[in-house]
Structure formats: C-alpha cells, structure tokens
Amino acid sequence: MMDGLKNIFSHIMKLQDKAKEMQSKLEKKTVEASAGGDMVTVKMNGKKQIISFKINKEAVDPDDVEMLEDLLLAACNQAYKKVTDLVTEEVGKLTGGVNIPGMPDISNML
C-alpha cells in the first residue's frame, strides 16, 4: 500500500515539474487577434499580457471614438480567449483532461 502511495506522489511531482515547464513555454507564446476587418490588431503573450496594438488609420475618427473603443475591446477579448484556449489545450495534453488534486492550475498562474 505504501508503495502505491509513493508511486502516486511521485507521479504528481513529475506532473508538477512538467506543468512548470509548460508554464515557461506558454509564457513565450503569443497570439494575435483583430477586429473590424483588421482595423485593430492586438498581440498578447501566454501570460495574458498585451504586447502590442496595431490601429489602422481608418479606425481613428475623432467624431466616433466609441467605435475605436469597441474595436479595441473586441480585439483584446478575442486575444484573451485565444490565450485561454491555448492554455486549456496544453494543460489537457499534460493531464489527459483529468483534474488532478495537488496539480497547480496553470491557467491561473499565467
């Protein structure tokens, strides 16, 4: 029985090490999302931090600032979803889709 528990804990420790490795790899990945037919483009890294914006001149209308705000919001939300999906996919590969007690939640670490 003790050997079984040792094996389980050993496996959990290995998964935690792999999770830390994956976290490091994900931090270096980037996604790109756009809105308004590429009027606004956002790049976000795997830590869910915005790296850059690209705003097309045609999106800048002093009489319609709300449109630009909406485009930025849409592009940011799309980038955030892409990173979240990427993290979920990578965590699923690591755990086989099983929630393992004691396993850090990588999506919250990033």
Q: What is the pLDDT of residue 68?
A: 95
Q: Is the pLDDT of residue 110 over 60?
A: no
Q: 84: exposed, middle or buried (C-beta count within 10 Å: 0-12, 13-18, 19+)?
A: middle
Q: Is the pLDDT of residue 45 over 90?
A: yes
Residue 73's CATH number: 3.30.1310.10
* Of 91 and 71, more confident: 71
pTM: 0.74
Q: Is the pLDDT of residue 1 over 60?
A: yes
The mean predicted confidence, pLDDT, of the chain is 85
Range of the domain at 81: 2-109
> For residues 60 and 108, what is the distance between their CA atoms, to the nearest angstrom?
35
* Tally of domains within the chain: 1
